[in-house]
A and B are shown apart, each in its own frame.
Chain A
Amino acid sequence: MEVPYTVDERPDTGVYNAKLGVWLFLASEVMLFGGLFSAYVFLRLGAPTGAFHEWGQELNIPLATLNTMILISSSMTMVMSWASLKMNDFKKYKLYMALTLVCALCFLVIKYLEYSAKIHHHIYPSTNTFYAIYFTLTGLHGLHIIGGMVVLFYLWGPGSKMWNSKPEQFTNRIEIVGLYWHFVDLVWIFLFPILYLL
């Protein structure tokens, strides 16, 4: 007997296994970023009054706003790529998934520009506690984007062959990876105002 409910939903819980698995994973990620946000609160309180706000003035708000728009767009294209599969449109799926990857790449490029500008001005994580938490939070977030991109690329490229043999399972995979991707967008939605605007 194979492991049941890998594709079909279990009647009483209403979910298939990977759906529950990925939500549990995202719950753990909420706590991971939560730990870092908690650190932010503690460090901000421990810094001289107004210091965090002042140190944060060096950050590039327009670039970060653009990045926020880019990531929101990538969330849109991500959910559209899944919806395309639900409507049996594999070509559209490839298109939207490619757009998602492009958005992600743009995000990383802008991030790279931001980081290199900081470093050029001799601003490092070691400069003060604000930049310590800024680089760590955005860095960890960036690593999550990279990790996501690897999986997305696989599912756009070699992994997409599964559509021919097991379309339902493949669609589920896109749903699962989409959930992860939206979560990464969600984290940024909080990171952006907290780090750049406050």
Chain B
Amino acid sequence: MNAHSHHEESFFRKYIWSTDHKIIGLQYGITALFFLMVGFFLMMVMRWQLAYPETPIPFVGSLFGEDGILLPEIYNSLGAMHGTIMIFLGVVPLAVGAFGNYLVPLQIGAPDMAFPKLNATSYWSYFIGGVIMMGSFFSEEGAARSGWTSYPPLADIEVGQTIWLIGMVFLITSSLLGSINIITTIVQLRAPGLTWSRLPFFVWTQLITSFLLVLAFPPLEAAAVLQLMDRVASTSFFLPSGLVISGEALTVSGGGSPLLWQHLFWFLAHPEVYVLILPAMGIVSEIIANNTRKPLWGYNSLVYSGIFLGFMSFVVWAHHMFLTGMGTAMSSFFQITTMIISIPSVIILSALLISLWGASIRFNTPMLFALAFLPMFGIGGLTGLPLGIAASDIFLHDTYYVIGHFHYVVAPGTIFALFAGIYFWYPKITGRKMNERLGQLHFWPSLLFMNGIFMPMFIQGLAGVSRRLWDGGLEYAHAAGVLQWNEFMSVSAWLLGISQIPFIINVFYSLKSGEKVDNNPWQATTLEWVAPSPPLPHVNFETFPEVHREAYEYSVPGRKRDFTPQTEPKKR
């Protein structure tokens, strides 16, 4: 035990360039929540245009055009940046950078991450990437507008992409460094007695997620370099021969392949969606175990399914490319792998549902969000099936059906799980609980309006309404019958925005006035609840934990308490 004299750290060392994983986790969390708000704001503006085409946007209209009306190019910019910001600046940094960084060392009984300085570097790389991305809005050309998918040939020649690509390089670097840190930490710094089979499922999900990031991001980084070369050095990595734009032939060598970009992009972007969902599954699992007062059903199934899911995620990517002219052999291959990958997801969802059977459920706010995750993720997952089957995907690709599908998984899916996690671990981070009443006020309307926004998207998609249309399908005859949903969805979106106000108030209010708690307010079993609330700077624990038990010893028959912390020694 190191009687480490706590030298006085300057404000800069304590809060800006901190190497304490808890501070870094909070830096990620606060930054990510800010970006989630920005991404949400962009969407609210887009939805005005969709609900009331070519009418001036209230309040903020002057930001988007002289007469306050959203131009198609700006709509496309908002769309591309909404996706980019939500995924790369919002959800992943929150799910992995914030939750991962803050909780992994605590849940494995370690004083910090394996590489604390690298950790700080990852955060600041993310921050710089974020500044670059946001800065693109203020550049002369404006922000990227070729979709978050940045497909060439458009992305090779369209404005705003160069900055986007440079921003992506910083963000990818941040992710790579962060995931190397998480894997090394989990493998090397587990407390004595914390064997793999005793690891909380949340830690497993962070481990698998980090492997996905470490191995899948680099090809996108390579692709980004290639696209930058196309834009800056006039190469033709992605530009085919004979390309004519606005009547003029491009004076490049040609010979490139737009499909090459798609392969390299989706090689990352498919595992990326599992990066979005796995931490959420981990968070929900912890909260369900704790609030059902039962061990998770099927721990081994959960772990093996997670590992299998991670592995399979690398071989399904071309289901995003069914319409690119692949032959039947390869289309079948990717269809089969995609169908197979649904199995571990179903196993995980089922295990979590079965975990509820016979449980004494505590319906606190984190549990409400965790419970809602289950059917919402279920809808998201099920609607993925017709997209994974090549034949039906022919009709549904690039329609609103796709948007509905992935938003169900990420929005009332992952983001609900992240809210659950914030409510659940807030007491550990701050020493105070969040207010239950405000929590309920946040939860119920959010659940309602999430469905209000995304359910009609399936209807529109099935009718054939394409995505990324600035007028929401107004010009197309086949959309006529479903256009009325646009206003409905937009109103739901704005009301969803308002429903977040109780949450924002709660976060700040509870800092000063929340119910004070000791180290284990939820009577939980995992190691983070052994540390004080908040954990000690830099070292976390007063005395270092030794693990003697599995992760979820709740309601074990014959014991006095309905939970047994992992650190409690077994009686001989």
Contact = CB atoms under 8 A, between A and B. Distances in A.
Contacts of A32: 218-219, 221-222
B180 A43 contact: no
B225 A140 contact: yes
B214 A46 contact: no
A173 to B, nearest CB: 13
Given A3-B110, A28-B214, A38 B255 contact: no
B183 interface: yes
A171 B505 CA distance: 53
Nearest to A34: B219
Interface string B537-566: 001010010000000000000000000000
Interface string A31-44: 11111101100110
A5 B235 contact: no
A128 B253 contact: yes
Given A3-B111, A5-B188, A35 B253 contact: no
B275 interface: no
Interface in B225-252: 225-226, 229, 233-237, 252
A125 interface: yes
Nearest to B267: A35
A28 B252 contact: no
With a 10 A CB-CB cut-off, give which of A4, A32, A47, A127 has the most chain B CB atoms: A32
Given A32-B222, A43-B260, A21 B184 contact: yes
B216 interface: yes
A133 B237 CA distance: 8
B259 to A, nearest CB: 8
A17 B255 contact: no
A28 B2 contact: no
B394 to A, nearest CB: 24
A136 interface: yes
B376 interface: no
Interface stretch (B112-120, B338-346, B384-392): B112-120
B189 A39 contact: no
B184 A136 contact: no
Given A43-B260, A136-B226, A1 B237 contact: no
A25 B257 CA distance: 29
B176 A28 contact: yes
A129 to B, nearest CB: 4
Interface in B182-225: 183-184, 187-189, 214-223, 225
Interface string A11-52: 001010110110011011101111110110011001100000
Contact of B229 (A1, A38, A132): A132
A126 B2 CA distance: 60
A25 to B, nearest CB: 6
B180 A1 contact: no
A27 B214 contact: yes
